Structure formats: structure tokens, C-alpha cells
Structure 1
Amino acid sequence: MSMHSIAWWPTVIALAIATFTDLRSRRIPNWLVFPFMAAGFGVQAWFHGWHGVVQSLEGFALGAVIFGVLAVMGGMGMGDVKLFAGIGAWIGPGQIMLALVITGLAGGVMALGWAIVGGFAGDLLKGSGDLLLGWKKRGTITPPDLKLTNPMARKMPYAPAIAIGTLISFFAH
């Protein structure tokens, strides 16, 4: 039984719950992500032994580090980081990289659509440009108006993009 064949249904369930809660409250609860992570490690160890544990740890680490950097920059919440790390524990390093790329594309399209519908596409493009291209001038510190901790910041739920990217990675892998 491959790592991917046993991971799809628990991942779909976790993604459905995370998407629902993120859309409703802009939060992904710890009661969901921590058991999901632990189960990913346990299932991979059960079916694949030490190889499964190593693959699970590598996927977890990649998800946590890459999304963790985005969270430190202020562009993502820790619930998103924990969810993506948990997905990595289930699907391993190869598929998590594919899921990451597709998630980024889905998130970009969703953010652009959200900004157009909300009437702030110009602000989104300016803020994104400042965040990506203005680092030489400001260093690695994210401007306060672009951080999620700022109560005035527009916050888009990212679990739907994570769900889309992960689910497409199952079909593509």
C-alpha cells in the first residue's frame, strides 16, 4: 500500500473541516490539526515502518518550514502552517512540494478574485509588490500594514487554497 493511497481520505476530511472553520471564523483549530498530524505519523509508521516515519518527518518539516517562513513574514496564520505541516506528515516530501506549488497558484487566483470583488485590487498589487520587491529598502521586516496581526489588514482564509492544492496534488501524483 503506497503512502499516497492511505493518505487521501483522512486528508480530505481534515481539509473539509479546516476549510469550513476557516471560512466561518478565519481560524483552523488545534483540536483538528494536532490529532491529524499525529495520525499521519502513526499511520505512516504502521504501514511503512521506519521508511514511513522518515517520509512523514520530511513532509512535515517541509510544510512547516515553508509555510512557517510565510507566517513569520506576516502573510499567513499559524493554523495554515500547522495544517500544511500535518498534510506533509501524511503525504511526504515529494507530494508536499507539488501541493505547495498548486496551493500557491490557487491562493494567488483566489486572492486576486477576492480583491477584485472587494474593490481593493490596486491595494493588493501595491502591497504584494512592496512585500516582494521592497525588501532591499526595509530589510526582512514586514511592514506593519501588511501583517495579519494588524486589525486593519484584510484577511483571506487560506484553507480553501490549501485544500485545492492538496487535492489536485493527489490527482496529479
Structure 2
Amino acid sequence: MEPGAGRYSLCGVTDRIGLRRRTSATPKRKSPHSDWRSQSRQPPERRGGDDPPRRRGADSEATVIPFPIIATLLSFISLCVVIDVRSRRIPNALSGCAMLCGAALNTFYFGGEGLVASLSGLTAAVVVLFGPFALGGVGAGDVKMMGAVGALLGPRLALIGLLVGMVLGGLIMTVALARRGRLEEKLAATISMIAGTAVTRSLSPLKRSAAEQSAVALPYSVPLGIGTMAVLAMGCWR
């Protein structure tokens, strides 16, 4: 072994170890993409023009119904129910005033779009109830009452309340017939009535059934009013 070989070899190893130490001690440069995860977690800044415009109108999901409209609606429904239960009629003056108040309040709060929504709600409720009214299932007062509800709430909420009220009215009628022991009789009469309508292709059997003296009379303002109030209670105006 030559005299300088070990020293050279030892120095070489020392230099390599020192180089490795210096290399490991040198701080690494941070990559510009090293924080991509933390950057991706941060929510993007919202620009001033990125917010979608809020819809307006009595029937808008993004608009809460003002309190005067709700107060007018609840007062109107309460009066209709009380008067209908006592006298089996709803005054035209009461329904007419509610329609005018609905159109005026929606126009005041929502402008032209509110007026359009009010008139659309009135028309939708009257059109849906025209068939049952023509068959004698509901009275003219019930049609005008729901027309006023549509003028106050707009078409969407009025139709939802109308649907809930009609289902509730059917349940009330079923319970009333069951308590009187006439449920089976009424079901058989209903099947016969539908069959007669299909055979004759006429609506006269339906009209005769509604005009019978034995038919169970129900003030339909009660279930219709409860259905409308239930829609408001469930927060469907938001």
C-alpha cells in the first residue's frame, strides 16, 4: 500500500461525506406548486358582478312575503271560514276586497312583476276550480276565495295550498262518511257514477250525484283555508 493512498482515500471519503452533509444541510427551494393543496382549499374571491340577480315578485322563491300580505291573507281566510261555517256562503264583497288588496300590495312591494304574479295566481286558482264548480263539487264562494288567495300569494303557492286543501277535504269527507256508516254506499255510488259517465260520455251523472239530497255537504273553505295556512307554516314561500 502506498503511503499517500490511504490518506488520499480517507480524504476522498471525508470529502464525500462532507459534501453529502453540506448537500443535506442546504435548504431546499420551495416549489411554486408545493402549496397547491392549501391554495385549492381557499375559497375563490367573489367578484362584484358574480352574484346572480335575485328574482322578484309575489311568487319568487328568493323573496320572503311581506308581513302585510300575510296578515291580509290570514284575516281573509279566517273571515271566510267563520262566515262559510255559519251561513254556508262567502260574500262577494269580501273576496273582491281581498283580490284588490292582493294586487295592490304585490304591486307596491314588487312592482310590475308583482302585479303579473298576482293576476296569474288569481287566474290559475279560478281555472283549476272551474271544473269542480261546474260539477257542483264546490261553490262559487270557494272559487272566489281561492282566487283571492292566488292574488295575494301568486300562482305557485296558491296551487300548492289548493292541492293540500283538496286532499284534506277528501280525508275529512271520508271520515264523515265512515262515522255515519255510509262510506261503502258512497264508494259504490261513486264507482257507478264514474261508469255511467264513461258509458254515456256525459258529465250529467256527476252533476246528479252532487245535487242529491243525501249528499254530504262540506264547507270547503275550511280544508282550503287549512291547506293554505299549512303551506305558509311549512315555509314554502322561501
What TM-score does the superposition give when structure 2 sets the normalisation length?
0.66
Q: Select the residue among 151, 164, 167 that pairs with 1:105.
A: 167
Q: Select the residue among 92, 101, 125 that pairs with 1:30.
A: 92
Q: 1:131 to 1:74 in 2, by over 3 A?
A: farther
Q: 1:70 to 1:41 in 2, by over 3 A?
A: same
CA distance in 2, matches of 1:14, 1:24: 16
Q: 1:127 to 1:56 in 2, by over 3 A?
A: farther
Count of matched residue positions in the alignment of Structure 1 and Structure 2 = 172
Q: 1:113 to 1:41 in 2, by over 3 A?
A: same
Q: 1:2 to 1:58 in 2, by over 3 A?
A: closer
CA-to-partner distance for each residue in 1:15-50, whole Å, 9 max, x for gaps? Answer: 111111111121112121111111111111111111
Q: Is the 8 A contact 1:145 1:153 kept in 2?
A: no
CA distance in 2, matches of 1:132, 1:84: 27
Q: Which runs of 4+ in 1 moved over 6 A?
A: none
Q: Select the residue among 45, 56, 71 that pairs with 1:9.
A: 71
Find the counterpart in structure 2 of residue 41 from structure 1: 103
1:146 aligns with 2:209: yes
CA distance in 2, matches of 1:38, 1:63: 16
Max radius of gyration: which structure? 2
RMSD after superposition: 2.1
Matches within 5 A, 1:76-155: 76-132=138-194, 134-143=196-205, 144-148=207-211, 150-155=212-217
CA distance in 2, matches of 1:2, 1:70: 29
CA distance in 2, matches of 1:38, 1:166: 19
Structure 1 residue runs without a partner (length 5+): none
CA distance in 2, matches of 1:129, 1:116: 17
Q: Is the 8 A contact 1:145 1:152 kept in 2?
A: no
CA distance in 1, matches of 2:132, 2:221: 14
CA-to-partner distance for each residue in 1:55-113, whole Å, 9 max, x for gaps? Answer: 00111011000111110122110000000111000000111121122111111111111
Find the counterpart in structure 2 of residue 160 from structure 1: 222
Structure 2 residue runs without a partner (length 5+): 1-55, 59-64
Percent identity between the two aligned chains: 24
Structure with the higher fraction of residues in helix conformation: 1
